[in-house]
Chain A
Amino acid sequence: MTVKFSKDHEWIDISDHEAATVGITVHAQDALGDVVFVDLPEVGKTFTQGEVAGVVESVKAAADVYMPVTGEIVEVNEALRADPSLANTDPLGAGWFFKVHVTDMMQFDALMDEPAYAEFAKNA
């Protein structure tokens, strides 16, 4: 299991823990509607778990993107900055937000797996 989910509706794929990929979930992009703007963090900046690391906005609403685990930003998705609609069309793939160097695997392990998140999102 390399992908887990936060209660703030982010996913994190830790296949490469030096550069784990973070994005928003299918549920999150559906609730937001058409995404028109993303604010991505600076590469090199470190955020603790739960801190606001970015912003995603649709025409009707703005939402914060929280750090699912503590770590340093090692890369951001410039393609998403240029075309925010990728967050709608491919939220789990090309619509990723940033990559983070994970130092505390315990935080990752404590996140929800896919069935648990599916249940959580259903009741959200």
Chain B
Amino acid sequence: MSATAPLLTTPLNALHIELGARMVPFAGYSMPVQYPAGLMAEHQHTRSAAGLFDVSHMGQLKLVGPDAAAAFETLMPVDVIDLPVGKQRYGLLLTDEGTVIDDLMFFNQGVVDGEPTLFVIVNGACKVGDIAHITARIGQRCKVAPMPDHALLALQGPRAVTALARLAPGVEKLVFMTGGDFSIAGCDCFVTRSGYTGEDGFEISVPAAQADTLARALLAQPEVKPIGLGARNSLRLEAGLCLYGNDIDTTTTPPEAALNWAIQKVRRTGGARAGGFPGADKVLAQIDNPASLQRKRVGLVALERVPVREHTELQSEDGQKIGEVTSGLLGPTVNEPVAMGYVTPAFAAIGTRVNAIVRGKAVPMEVRAMPFTPARYYRG
């Protein structure tokens, strides 16, 4: 995407401007980075009440047909076939070298209009490439149907369920990583109980023509305020969640990225459907022999109140380069500088001290477990 390409807008663009958002280019779209309340207040509001996010830049698509799940499984090291109807799962598209093309969420909608259907949400900056990749690899086996006529909203925070259940009784019965069809304020919504903040909450797919109506109905609830992409980033980092392009990309494999939890046993060595995904030899060898890893993603907290940002070099206490920060900021909830980055395995154990080199000065950091804030997903 060249810097001069005209920016796309989401169906909520007029609402963002009406709300006084500061708009910035992101993934080819003009997106709200913050509203007048500001990033800190928006972050805290999401952790204490409910925040509404426009994430319509993300790619939504459906994979349709009796062979869709088996076909999709050939692209990811993930159990797609056995995902029950009504459930959602995290997935990873891999290159033939086993590195990450994109991370995504997929949902088994069961039989829709007579055909088994998977609903997939991918990153905005990757969606054109993802759809091309998926179509090229499995377009013969199932229908790959992008949904550019749909917006995506996220309602996140401990009060999200109260606000949404007022408009759509029944959503409170959903548990984390499940979903279903709901009518909300007259809009035809597909709702999942999931998100990217570490809080309880929902993501809502809605026809673009109804998005403004839905957003206004949600903002009319006393718990709900609009939240920009700035707070979305600080919330996800505190939650220990990867940002594609920063923390994972086509140079990182899932084991290096500490994403083995996303690879179910059935796809691992000895599993009933072991391998059979791009880069399987390399990825499974890394899982089977963790000592072979050259680097590993870890959480880091600075021991001085200095934010440590992406691309900051990490050194051992005796001054050897041992890694690099991939995301970092002063976490508004934890109220200390948090980061994630890659280090050589000898420095990956919880409690290990390393130095971040910030403007030529060593800032001491400690490897910490993630998430930095406790996850508050609703599991029933």
Interface positions of A (Cβ within 8 A of B): 33-34, 36-37, 39, 55, 57-60, 62
Cβ contacts B258-286/A at 8 Å (1 or 0 each): 00000000000000000000000000000
Nearest chain B residue, comparing its CB with the CB of A39? B359
Known: A33-B230, A37-B330, A39-B359. A59 touches B309 (CB 8 A): no
B307 touches A62 (CB 8 A): yes
Q: How far is the CA of A58 from the CA of B332 in the complex (A)?
A: 11
Q: Note all chain B residues with C-beta closer than 8 A to A57.
A: 307, 330
B359 touches A59 (CB 8 A): no
Q: Could you show 18 A-B contacts with beta carbons less than 8 Å apart?
A: A33-B39, A34-B38, A34-B39, A36-B40, A36-B330, A37-B306, A37-B330, A57-B330, A59-B39, A59-B40, A59-B234, A59-B307, A59-B329, A59-B332, A60-B230, A60-B233, A62-B307, A62-B309
Given A59-B43, A60-B39; 18 other pairs, CB 8 A cutoff: A33-B38, A33-B39, A33-B230, A34-B38, A34-B39, A36-B40, A37-B330, A39-B359, A55-B359, A57-B330, A59-B40, A59-B234, A59-B307, A59-B332, A60-B33, A60-B230, A60-B233, A62-B309
Q: Which one of B33, B233, B307 has the highest number of Cβ atoms from chain A below 10 Å of its Cβ?
A: B307
Least CB distance, A44 to chain B, in whole angstroms: 18
Q: Which one of A36, A39, A62 has the highest number of Cβ atoms from chain B below 10 Å of its Cβ?
A: A36
Known: A34-B40, A37-B330. A59 touches B305 (CB 8 A): no
- Provide the main secondary structure of the chain A interface: strand
B40 touches A60 (CB 8 A): no
Q: How far is the CA of A33 from the CA of B41 in the complex (A)?
A: 11
Q: Note all chain B residues with C-beta closer than 8 A to A55.
A: 359
Nearest chain B residue, comparing its CB with the CB of A58? B39
Q: Note all chain A residues with C-beta closer than 8 A to B43.
A: 59
Least CB distance, B356 to chain A, in whole angstroms: 13
Q: How far is the CA of A60 from the CA of B40 in the complex (A)?
A: 10
